[in-house]
Structure 1
Amino acid sequence: MKNRILICVLIAFLCSPSIIGQTTVIIDSLYQVLKATHNDTVKAKSHYELGWYLKLQDLNGAIAHMDSSITIYKELELPGEIALSNFQFSVLYRLSGDYDKALESLTKFQDYVESVKDTANFTYAFYEKGVVYSQKGDLEKALGNFIEANKLSRATRNADMVASTLNSIGIVYIDLKKYDQAITSLKEAESTYKNLGRKDEHLGDVYFQLANAYKNKNELKKCRSYYERALANYQNADSDFGVALVNFQFGLLLNEEGQFRKAIPFFEKAYEIQKRNDYSTELLQTLSNLATAHSELGNLKKSETYLKEGVALNSNSKQHVKELNLELYRLFEKRKKYKEALEYHKVFVVYKDSILNEANIKNINELDKKYQTEKKDKEIATQQLALREQETEIQAKKSQNNFMLGGLVFLIVGTTLLIFLFKQRQKRKNQELLTLKREFQIKTLESLIEGEEKERLRVAKELHDGVNGDLAAIKYKLSSLLEMNNTVIKEAIAMIDDSCKQVRAISHNLIPPSLENFNLLEATQVYCANLNDVSPSIEINFQHLGEDIDIPKKAEVNAFRIIQELVTNAVRHSEASHINVQISAHENIIQITVEDDGKGFDKHTIESDGIGLGNVQSRTDYLNATTDFISNDKGTSYTIDINKELLNGD
């Protein structure tokens, strides 16, 4: 439906009178269809087409057919077709001079295309309104509608319509005597048509209007240049109407400059084309100017011939007929044929009076219309005043309600905010309590670990300085008896040597010298090597992967104790042949893995209060580390992840 409307609207703007004049066969066919059909849709369409094709032959008949068309479409409830009929009504009313009805029909069309979001046809509605206002003489409104049509055509990228609206805007600016603005708009239209590759009558029309603008600015050199460009485009497009129009303008320019002999060939060219195509209105103007040129050159007989030919055309334009009779009066007076001159003067006076009467009637009608309008405006103003008073009262009540509603909203928002703040405060307090509890737990763990380390140091010193010294003394005394070659004594000395090694190992385990002097990696490596010496039945391997480890000394001690505890458990309980210890470091994560190939244990049945595993858990908590372990008949694996960013203390 939208495309069909668009096509028809384009026809409304692009069809010329010469094309419409060749539609007699179509009209006859449409009448035959109306007689034969019983289909309401076909009837409505036929009335619609007749209304369109008859507009230049029988305007009243065209309006009657269009009225029949829209009546049937309303019965059929076809809103798109009703809208299209309203658009065509606007064209018919414009041609009849009833501009108010034309605008009313256009508004109905606009309402429909806007409701269906048909931007393209909305553009043509604004354009047609511009044409109506232009013919009505309301140039400001015409300009506004043409500008709106231009905006919409740009939005829909309809370049042809962009150029067409720019041309119309230029024409209105010429009528408003704003020639520079007219030239700007027309040159943009020229550029748009050129970009489209157009060299037809549309570009010719733009050049023609540019020539008119420069003529009004009295820049005649540019004026002639653009008339020549217009003529070239009209000739290229085989536009007889355009060619005649430009030739007439060239003749008019020469007439105005007093170059009557040079003007005559241009008028004759225009005369020949207009007469051949029956352009009667334009032909009258050409005949009048031809007569003037010949009269000024003294060719009075020739002038009389052209003027009488003009009178014989029986034009509907009283203004043109009046001017022709005035010229004939002057011509015969100049030739001293006073009787003929008087006759033409009488006709001139009759037409002059008729035009004056029509003008007076028109003025009276306009005054009456203005009076009726003012009367209606006064009634509307009174109604509007009453409405304003009602609106003021309603507004006051609305303001009061809004104030109360605002107060209620403020109260609700305030209460909600207070509740939210209270909850936030309570949440902060709970968080602070949790933080304090956490800090207390950390300090407790720290104290326990420090106490354990001190006790280890004390026991290690006691073993090293006390028990180990005593064993050394016993060994010395027993050694002095070796000369007696007593086998039992030799065995006792060997056992004492083993005991010394065990005591030294226990002492080092309790407080390893490597951890005091070196880092976690070195201490762990030394520890694993020592255990290998003490426990030859188990192979203990150490491996380091990734980056060097740089953590606080307390963290190193606790990590080492975890490794020590897990390895000790594996040695004592797992019955394993291999124990692997691995420390890997990447970015902020340190991962400790201790695994063995022993008999494993059930993690669900093992006592949870064991001292060894309890120590591991305490130290893991202190380090804020995570623990994961797997134990089955293939062995046990502990994995501890330490995040350096979560470590406590220095």
Structure 2
Amino acid sequence: MSIRKKIIGTMIFLSLSLFLWGQCPDDLNVQQALHTQDVKTLQATAKELENCPQLQDSLALVYHYLGIFLYQTQLDSAIFYAEQSLKIRKTLFGNEPNLVLGKSYNNLGVFLGIAKRSLLGKKYLSSAIDIYKKIKIPARVTKSQFELAKIYIDEGEYELAKTILEHLATATQQLKQERLYALVFIEQGRMLTDLGNYAKAVGQLELAKNKFDEYYFPKDKAACRVNLGKSFFYLEKYDEAIDNFKEAIAIYQELGNCDEVAKNYNNLGRTYQKNNNLNLAFQTLQEGVKMAQSCHSKEMLAQGYDHLGLFFLEKKEYQKALY
């Protein structure tokens, strides 16, 4: 290649780089996009940042928050963005432990755990725990340990979950992590319910309930009521179960969580049926189906029809059980 062609090529490259630099959002633009908490705005900002190699840390941050804003509604997308954020941060920081790297490992582990990809979820959460220990942020260690314990419960690894939760019951109190302290009791209650120790589960869940009555954490309060409802159901204390499911529904309605409202109409309907209140059972199960239809949840709709089918099956109305 001639010297002239090399010079022209270099000039074109420099011109393009300067052009792209000029098109890149500055820190203020990125912060404004994050402040909107609007997924489309953040996706547009990410598109701009993808062409800005000098702003990879900002791109990783936007990906990180896209994961946070999407995991409750679009889990696969949340996992994708969390993976991309972690990939960039590993390139930027290598094996050097720091807070943002720990956050990326933690979030990806949490999302994978929700998606039932437990092996990878446990791996990433363990990495987050190691990082937080190395940089000495105990409050983040406990949060990641808690998420790890939840996966162990989901996988039926109860001894491992029990060990972590017993440690957290002390550690969170020492660190004055009031919300996490109460959540530990919920998970202990959930684990005990899985193991069939319903009376003890109620005891742990009542501890959580009292704490959530003291502090305003509506989502956690609702989850506590659901778990209490299930434990009372298995103890055949149907009136107590009904009260807890009703309260959970009211909270989830206030929060606008359509799936959870539908799910707990199913729980409530089944409890009415066990309590021999068949008219209310049928009406409530129908309400669960309507709610699932309104929030376009195929999973909840299938569950609703399953519960209606079971309702008719137990009434020995076999033709209607094909509902």
Q: What is the TM-score of this pair, normalised by structure 1?
A: 0.41
Higher strand content, 1 or 2: 1
SS in 2 for 1:197: coil
Counterpart check, 1:249 vs 2:233: no
Counterpart check, 1:54 vs 2:38: yes
Counterpart check, 1:108 vs 2:119: no
Number of the residue aligned with 2:59: 82
- Percent of aligned pairs with the same residue? 15
The letter of the residue matching 1:108 is I
After alignment, is 177-186 or 208-217 more displaced?
208-217
Number of the residue aligned with 2:141: 162
The alignment covers a number of residue pairs equal to 295
Q: 1:120 to 1:254 in 2, by over 3 A?
A: same
Residue correspondence of structure 1 range 293-332 to structure 2 within 5 A: 293-313=271-291, 314-331=294-311
Shift of 1:196: 1.6
Number of the residue aligned with 2:20: none
Counterpart check, 1:283 vs 2:256: no
Q: 1:147 to 1:47 in 2, by over 3 A?
A: same
Shift of 1:149: 1.4
Task: Give the structure, 1 or 2, with the largest relative contact order (CA under 8 Å, sep 6 or more).
Answer: 2
Counterpart check, 1:202 vs 2:186: no
Aligned match of 2:132 in 128, 145, 153? 153
List per-residue Cα deviations over 1:25-81 (Å, max 9, x = no partner).
xxxxxxxxxxxxx9942444444444xx124xxxxx356324334246x17x33432
The letter of the residue matching 1:166 is Q
Instruction: Give yes or no for contact 1:106–1:125 (8 Å, CA) kept in 2.
Output: yes
Question: Can you give the 5+ residue segments of structure 2 that lack an aligned partner in the other structure?
Answer: 1-22
Instruction: Give yes or no for contact 2:182–2:207 (8 Å, CA) kept in 1.
Output: yes
Counterpart check, 1:129 vs 2:108: yes
Higher helix content, 1 or 2: 2
Shift of 1:277: 2.7
Instruction: Give yes or no for contact 1:44–1:70 (8 Å, CA) kept in 2.
Output: no
Q: 1:153 to 1:338 in 2, by over 3 A?
A: closer
Q: 1:130 to 1:333 in 2, by over 3 A?
A: closer
The letter of the residue matching 1:243 is K
Residue correspondence of structure 1 range 188-267 to structure 2 within 5 A: 188-199=167-178, 201-267=179-245
Alignment partners' CA distance in 2, 1:228 and 1:185:
20
The letter of the residue matching 1:107 is K
Residue correspondence of structure 1 range 509-588 to structure 2 within 5 A: none
Alignment partners' CA distance in 2, 1:113 and 1:212:
38
Aligned match of 1:97 in 73, 76, 85? 76
Q: Provide the alpha-carbon RMSD of the alignment.
A: 3.0
Q: 1:170 to 1:329 in 2, by over 3 A?
A: closer
Question: Can you give the 5+ residue segments of structure 1 that lack an aligned partner in the other structure?
Answer: 1-37, 56-60, 346-650
Q: 1:307 to 1:176 in 2, by over 3 A?
A: closer
Aligned match of 1:64 in 22, 36, 43? 43
List per-residue Cα deviations over 1:606-639 (Å, max 9, x = no partner).
xxxxxxxxxxxxxxxxxxxxxxxxxxxxxxxxxx
Alignment partners' CA distance in 1, 2:177 and 2:202:
21
Instruction: Give yes or no for contact 1:45–1:69 (8 Å, CA) kept in 2.
Output: no
Instruction: Give yes or no for contact 1:211–1:226 (8 Å, CA) kept in 2.
Output: yes
Runs of 4+ displaced beyond 6 Å = 333-339
Bigger Rg, which one: 1
Q: 1:258 to 1:93 in 2, by over 3 A?
A: closer
Counterpart check, 1:292 vs 2:276: no
The letter of the residue matching 1:105 is S
Alignment partners' CA distance in 1, 2:106 and 2:24:
34
List per-residue Cα deviations over 1:232-275 (Å, max 9, x = no partner).
22222211222222222122122223332332222222222222
The letter of the residue matching 1:110 is K
Shift of 1:224: 2.0
Residue correspondence of structure 1 range 21-40 to structure 2 within 5 A: 40=25
Number of the residue aligned with 2:157: 178
